[in-house]
Chain A
Amino acid sequence: MTPTAAATLLRLESDRDAGIPCRLLDLLTVQQRLPDQMTIDWQPASISFQLAFAVDASLPASLVARLRMLPGVRSVCTEALP
């Protein structure tokens, strides 16, 4: 049996800057790594994103690093979903 990678949840918190969702989606589109689900929670001074990626979808370390380098991004973390 071939082991399969788990689905991945990516959480990202940023400044409240309307450009950030756009840059995030542009980057994921160029990298051909669009999520299955995406939620955006607009807070008074910040934005919280949750992106769920399908089983077998890989998120290379360089992509996660690139997300961290986006201006306005405060934190990025990933976790494997059961």
Chain B
Amino acid sequence: MTSVALNPAPVLSGADHLLGLLAEAGVDVVFGYPGGAVLPLYDALHRQDRIRHILVRHEQAAVHAAEGYARSTGRLGVVFATSGPGVTNCLTGLADALADSIPLLCIAGQVVRTLRGTDAFQEADILSMSRAATKYNVGIHEPEALGSLLRHCITMATTGRPGPVLIDLPKDIQALEAPAALFETDAGTLTLPCRLRAGGGDIDAAAQLLRTARRPIIFSGGGVINAGPAASDRLRQLAQLTGAPVTSTLMGLGAFPASSPQWLGMPGMHGTLEANLAMHGCDVMLCVGARFDDRVTGRIDGFAPGARIIHIDIDPSQIGKIIRVDVAIAADCADALRQLCDAVAGQALPSLADWWQQIAAWRARQCLAYPDRADVLLPQHAISRLFAVARRYDPIISTDVGQHQMWTAQYFGFDLPGRWLTSGGLGTMGFGLPAAIGAQIAHTDALVINIAGEASIQMNIQELATASQYRLPVKIFIVNNERMGMVRQWQERHHGGRYSQSYAEALPDFVRLAQAYGWTGLRVETTTDLESGLCEMIKTPGPVLLDCRVRCEENCYPMMPAGAAHNEIAVCESEGSATVVS
């Protein structure tokens, strides 16, 4: 007599199982590009309808698009790429996400297990290559470990200090058909760093410093954004309770409203005079979710010489790494700020009138003022007017890297987190357009603008096609100075005006290029036409590229030269390298 199973377990492929787990984890969008080693995965995608796939034109752009999605939502960004060149193309994006602590999961195909180590077609040792570009990476060598490792990796990417995680997944495991239980056989282990909480003693010590400060400053970073909206709310509450001025790193813009009278602007190399001098002259600095990047600190031995420093960071290895601190709090920013608010609330605080009077004097220098010129379109004016025209739409702004990025940070005011997408740590040209696409996918009805340079935009210009394919109404505002502007500026200041290779003689006609991809292309060349051009860009349905021709030789000021301190800032062209002393 033959026994027959009445309810045989349904059979599915490893790829089916993986997609099911991703969907259960809340993933609804994946950015990617197919290839030989991920064909089973793409076949499984075709069989399901819970996860939408966005086909990019280059794998680097897939990662940046996933970053744009993650940075604007706080959710996990997911990327699919094939083996070999597909996933090596992802490396810059992964390094970018690592530098800025962005939660990403990259699932890379790999050649079948029997061919591993044979120099097979499109075989690359991506685990070795991506180790330094990821928070964690792992190869799946047995189908039994698929489920547990995928769950571990999602947890790893999204908890603690977020970051990119890569899974190397052989094609034969994707294709293997088996009952679902097989892919869950091996529970696996992955020890996660322990979750740190603020201790009462450290909070009390920090609160005591804030209660006695005469010249306090709150200095926030991208960690406050990454910690979620609650952290931004607590930051605002603490600023209100203490009355202290607030400055934020490039990555932290939007956590505190730029429209607040307590906002000083960004500190650092291209920060405002008042932010830098307040950093230099403060007696207590509360640094929260920032890591004292060299672009912020300037010369270390001249950094905040009279300050007692409190440092809150979820990553304990960042505390004391660059700057000696007096109170170290290794904890989630939102949790620590909440405790700090509770400790400060209702307490009598000293008057900060003298401090604010000093700050007002620094503000009166109007370090971001620029000449009113009718003969030429200044980039500062172009971005200021873009802000004026666009702000009512609560736009999401992405940038590339260079002068336009710094001008946007200076002249575009951000009042909310998740509206400012920029490559801060790695400084990746080509980030802006795919990041805007990722943000637009997540926020269908939002006004998403990529402010780009004419050099940066060309590094991922092929993504114009992606926006066309998905009918995404992304806007691109090119600050076109026909130069790699920041390189040119440094060559002018530090290399004797020898403009080595910073001028690309052949630029495309961006308007016709945009039209070739199905976009609306516009151009503005004069101050007179700027306003109407901006309005047309925003009001024209669908994707629009506006080529804004600005003065080529304009430099970005204020500028704290490399190796200088916060009180050694050149504030405008006419002052050259003149120093400003508080």
Q: Which residues of chain A have a CB within 8 Å of any CB of chain B?
A: 14-15, 17, 19, 22-23, 26, 45, 60-63, 65-66, 68-74
Contact = CB atoms under 8 A, between A and B. Distances in A.
Given A19-B127, A26-B132, A45 B320 contact: no
B346 interface: no
Nearest to A70: B193
B500 interface: no
Nearest to B161: A69
B317 interface: yes
A51 B110 CA distance: 34
A22 B191 contact: no
Nearest to A14: B191
A80 B82 CA distance: 48
A62 B131 contact: no
A12 to B, nearest CB: 12
Contact of B191 (A15, A61, A62, A65): A15
B122 interface: no
Contacts of A61: 320
Contacts of A60: 320-321
A68 B138 contact: no
Contacts of B189: 15, 45
Contacts of B135: 71
26 contacts: A14-B191, A15-B190, A15-B191, A17-B138, A17-B190, A19-B127, A19-B131, A19-B137, A19-B138, A22-B131, A23-B131, A26-B131, A60-B321, A62-B316, A62-B318, A62-B320, A65-B316, A65-B317, A68-B316, A69-B160, A69-B315, A70-B193, A71-B135, A71-B136, A71-B191, A73-B191
A22 B317 contact: no
Chain B interface size, under 10 / 10 to 19 / 20 to 34 / 35 or more: 20 to 34
A71 B149 CA distance: 13
A69 B193 CA distance: 5
A17 B160 CA distance: 20
Contacts of A23: 131
B319 interface: yes
A25 to B, nearest CB: 10
Which 4 residue pairs of A and B lie closest in terms of their CB atoms, listed nearest first?
A66-B317, A65-B317, A62-B321, A71-B136
A23 B160 CA distance: 19
Interface string B307-323: 00000000111111100
B9 interface: no
Nearest to B152: A71
B259 interface: no
A22 B128 CA distance: 8
B330 to A, nearest CB: 8
Given A17-B138, A62-B320, A71 B131 contact: no
Contacts of B193: 68-71, 73
A61 B191 CA distance: 21
Contacts of A66: 317
Interface in B160-197: 160-161, 189-193
A23 B166 CA distance: 14
B41 interface: no
B226 to A, nearest CB: 15
Contacts of A19: 127, 131, 136-138
A61 B138 CA distance: 28
A62 to B, nearest CB: 4
Given A19-B131, A19-B137, A23-B131, A71 B317 contact: no
B406 interface: no
Given A19-B131, A19-B138, A72 B190 contact: yes
Interface string B134-161: 0111100000000000000000100011
A73 B317 CA distance: 14
B156 A71 contact: yes
Chain B CB within 10 Å, residue with most, of A23, A26, A61, A65: A65
Given A62-B318, A69-B160, 18 more contacts: A14-B191, A19-B127, A19-B131, A19-B137, A19-B138, A22-B131, A26-B131, A45-B189, A65-B317, A65-B319, A68-B317, A69-B317, A70-B193, A71-B136, A71-B192, A72-B136, A72-B190, A73-B191
Contacts of A17: 138, 190
Contacts of B132: 26
B207 to A, nearest CB: 24
A65 B319 CA distance: 9
A62 B190 contact: no
A72 B160 CA distance: 14
A15 B315 CA distance: 21
Contacts of A68: 193, 316-317
Nearest to A45: B189
Contacts of A69: 160-161, 193, 315-317
A62 B318 CA distance: 7
Nearest to B128: A22
A21 B192 CA distance: 16
A66 B127 CA distance: 20
A63 B190 contact: no
Contacts of A62: 316-321
A19 B189 CA distance: 14
A80 B300 CA distance: 30
A26 B319 CA distance: 21
A70 to B, nearest CB: 8
A8 to B, nearest CB: 18
A72 to B, nearest CB: 5
A62 B192 CA distance: 18
